[in-house]
Structure 1
Amino acid sequence: MPRRKKYPWEKLSDEQLLKRRLSSLRVGIEGTWLEDCLNTLYEELEEKGIRLRPHAWISSEWFSPGNVPGIAIPFYLVHPRLMKLEKKMMLDVEGGTWSECMAILRHEAGHAIQHGYQLQRRRRWQKLFGPSSRRYPRYYKPNPASRQYVQHLRLWYAQSHPDEDFAETFAVWLRPRSNWRTRYAGWPALKKLEYVDELMEEIAGKRLVSTTRERVDPLHELSQTLGEHYQKKQAFYAFTPPKTYDRDLMKLFSADPRHRRGQPASSFIRRHRAHIRQLVARWTGENQLTLDAVLDDMIFRCRELDLRAVGSDRRLVADFTVLLTAKTMHALFGPSRRKWIAL
């Protein structure tokens, strides 16, 4: 890979960098690890006999615009300095590893192929996945036990919309050595995978219906500052945690005056929060920023209740992780909310 290009903003402080406009970053895919990821995607498509090579560009987020057979990639993945800022602001870097980036690219390639060949117009596509014209929900409540859908990206994303169902199914089908026939044997979702297999064989080598090379919201046209971008992004994931866990916290930690000299439960949570947050995010698929809001509230409640952490840290970490997981699953699948995250 060519030597990484140097940028004038690399050594700026976070505060200074957040004042820069997205358009001023002037970053691109060429010469970065993303170029290798895209080349790998193209090789996988070629191996399957698919003619389309989705064009890609840098924008603010991951997405594939309607009727455009291309993929927008978020700016922060281009450079380690931007990934570091993303990690600080969002506690996670979506697509920041090779495997995760490839998983998302395969998903987005599914959208691009749908757009390029207008697959949603086919009756069987509509019968299996549903109408593409269905409005995207503001929230969705997935069923983790459902076998009607494949499982690829987090939060059982295939269940959010027919287009996402197809993109997820395509991604599973495309991934090398996925053994999807064995993995999904006996699942109703297998019919969708078999249809994708038949459909891709049918369109192999055929001309695209939509050949536009349009780039929607390219980075050089985005005038908002990084600070404004992250303020909006953080607001999307933020929510007010319900005050429903005082009883659980009092079972886990001690309010007994005999333990008043013990370690404050609030300090215990702060000390282990990063490890616990990452574990729960991995198990539940919830965004780390959202989990952090819950942890902040739990720390506040522990302080208000003057709770103490009594016993071994190992046991308390395990018990607290279970508690946070249970509360997260209730928030995800209970009567509250499940945000739709556009990809």
Structure 2
Amino acid sequence: MSANIRDRRRRNRSRAKFGNPELAELSDDELLDLRFCDLGLCIHEAPLQERIDQLYRELEAKRLDFRPHFWLSQEWFTPDGVPGVAIPFYLADSRLMKLEERQMLEVEGGTTDWCMRILRHEAGHAIDNAYRLRRRQCYRKTFGNVSAPYPDSYNPRPYSRSYVINIDLWYAQSHPVEDFAETFAVWLKPRSRWRQTYAGWPALRKLLFVNELMATIREEKPAVRTRRHEEPLRTLKMTLREHYDEKRRHYGLEASDAYDHELLRLFTKDNDNGQTSSAATFLRRARKRLRRDVSEWTGHYQYTIDQVLEDMIARCQKLNLRVDRNPEEVERDTLVVLTMHTMNHIQDEAHKVAL
């Protein structure tokens, strides 16, 4: 084996595992009993530091001197009045990323593209705070009443062209300051071709405004320069188990019989002494594919989709439903039903936002 190949494999192995090596030896139960303050994590671990450096290069390419500061916490957030960003703990450790996926079925910001979308969004909040942009009349005229109470949830309009699309779930529609942050993220992204992409959309006016506003603040110094950290990991006494219990409650759904009409069309109630397979078993086998496909289609969190599936499985058991058609055809039809109920949750149940 050549030296170049050995070096390449060594680099790949080093990228695969990062963070606190002591955590790699612990079981999931042992990890869940740890407190945040005892995780021993560092924000400068690769690949997280590489993505922060990429964000800095993107800001430099736009000739902006501003650089947000970062720290580790429970979740993504940018505190009001602070020109910095909290990043979720699991992105600093490969073992904790695996735990996050097992607990929530996905890792928010776990890929380079996903992480950069969120970093650009949060950088928008940070630069808003640094220059107190939301106090400017032109900002309010473009994005709306920033003094409106921040909602716990919102009902998006998926087909609206008045907002850009960066983070999933039409997040720009949740509040005027999120609208600004999403618009900033699209403007900042290298080679985004936002003028062509949003040509003819009302959202283009917002992008043009951000383009002009950023040209203005290049000549200004930030009004807020604090390097304060809020809710840093080292101060949090909550265990990971408590954290995930709370997080699952936030994204969970209550049991419902609202699926019965569609389930009775998908499956049969005929009992033929076991000659056909159980609908509940069928859904369990297709579960991973179904929730992944619906998540990619709707942008909704896999955990919530999985809760819908769990409820459907329970109803199939309760009604003693069975599969009496071609499995591929049934799975395709199930995908449509699952997508419909996911979208109903977004539209009618006031989808809960995460950032």
The answer to whether the superposition gives a TM-score over 0.5 is yes
Q: 1:75-224 to 2 correspondence within 5 Å?
A: 75-224=89-238
Alignment match of 2:296 (pick from 257, 260, 282)? 282
Give the alignment partner of residue 16 of structure 1, picking from 11, 30, 33: 30
Deviation at 1:270, TM superposition (A): 0.3
2:353 corresponds to 1:340: yes
**C-alpha deviation, 1:5, in angstroms:** 5.1
Deviations 1:246-302 (A, max 9, x none): 111111111123474211000000001011001111111221111111111111111
TM-score normalized by structure 2?
0.93
The residue aligned with 2:59 is: 45
TM-score, structure 1 as length reference: 0.96
Q: Distance in 2 between matches of 1:225 and 1:257?
A: 47
Q: Which amino acid aligns with 1:339?
A: K
Q: Does the residue aligned with 1:224 lie in a helix, a strand or coil? A: coil
Looking at structure 1, the residues matched to 321 and 179 of structure 2 have their Cα atoms a distance apart, in angstroms, of 45
SS in 2 for 1:134: coil
CA distance in 2, matches of 1:98, 1:175: 13
Say whether residues 1:237 and 2:245 are aligned partners. Answer: no
Secondary structure of 1:58's aligned partner: strand
Q: 1:327 corresponds to which residue?
A: 341
Report the AA paired with residue 125 of structure 1: Y
Deviation at 1:131, TM superposition (A): 2.3
What CA distance in whole angstroms lies between the structure 2 residues aligned with 1:309 and 1:79? Answer: 43
Counterpart Cα distance in 1 of 2:351 and 2:113: 26
Count of residues in correspondence between the two structures: 341
Residue by residue, what CA displacement relative to the aligned partner does 1:210-268 show, whole Å, maximum 9, x if unpaired? 00000111101111111111111111111214311111111111112347421100000
Which residues in structure 2 correspond to 1:240-259 (within 5 Å)?
Answer: 240-258=254-272
| Contact 2:83 2:126 survives alignment (8 Å) | yes
**Which aligned pairs between 1:42-81 and structure 2 lie closer than 5 A?**
42-81=56-95
State the alpha-carbon separation in 2 of the partners of residues 128 and 6 from structure 1: 45
In 1, Cα distance between the equivalents of 2:339 and 2:298? 7
Conserved? CA contact 1:147–1:189, under 8 Å: yes
Q: 1:259 to 1:178 in 2, by over 3 A?
A: farther
Give the alignment partner of residue 305 of structure 2, picking from 281, 291, 311.
291
Q: Which of 265, 271, 280 matches 2:279?
A: 265
C-alpha separation in 1, matches of 2:242 and 2:253 = 19
Q: Is the 8 A contact 1:51 1:206 kept in 2?
A: no
Offset at 1:332? Answer: 1.1
- Rounded to whole Å, the distance in 1 between the matches of 2:203 and 2:125 is 18
Q: Is the 8 A contact 2:19 2:41 kept in 1?
A: no
SS at match of 1:199: helix
SS in 2 for 1:9: helix
Counterpart-to-counterpart distance in 2, 1:31 and 1:255: 55
Structure 1 CA distance for aligned equivalents of residues 325 and 118 of structure 2: 42
CA distance, structure 2, for counterparts of residue 40 and residue 254 of structure 1: 54
The alignment's C-alpha RMSD in Å is: 1.4
**CA distance in structure 2 between the partners assigned to 1:241 and 1:99 by the alignment:** 34
Does the C-alpha gap of structure 1 residues 249 and 137 become closer, same or farther in structure 2, counting only changes over 3 Å?
same
8 Å Cα contact 2:20/2:93 also seen in 1: no
Residues 123-179 of structure 1: per-residue CA shift (max 9 Å, x gap): 110011112221111221111111111111111000000110000000000111111
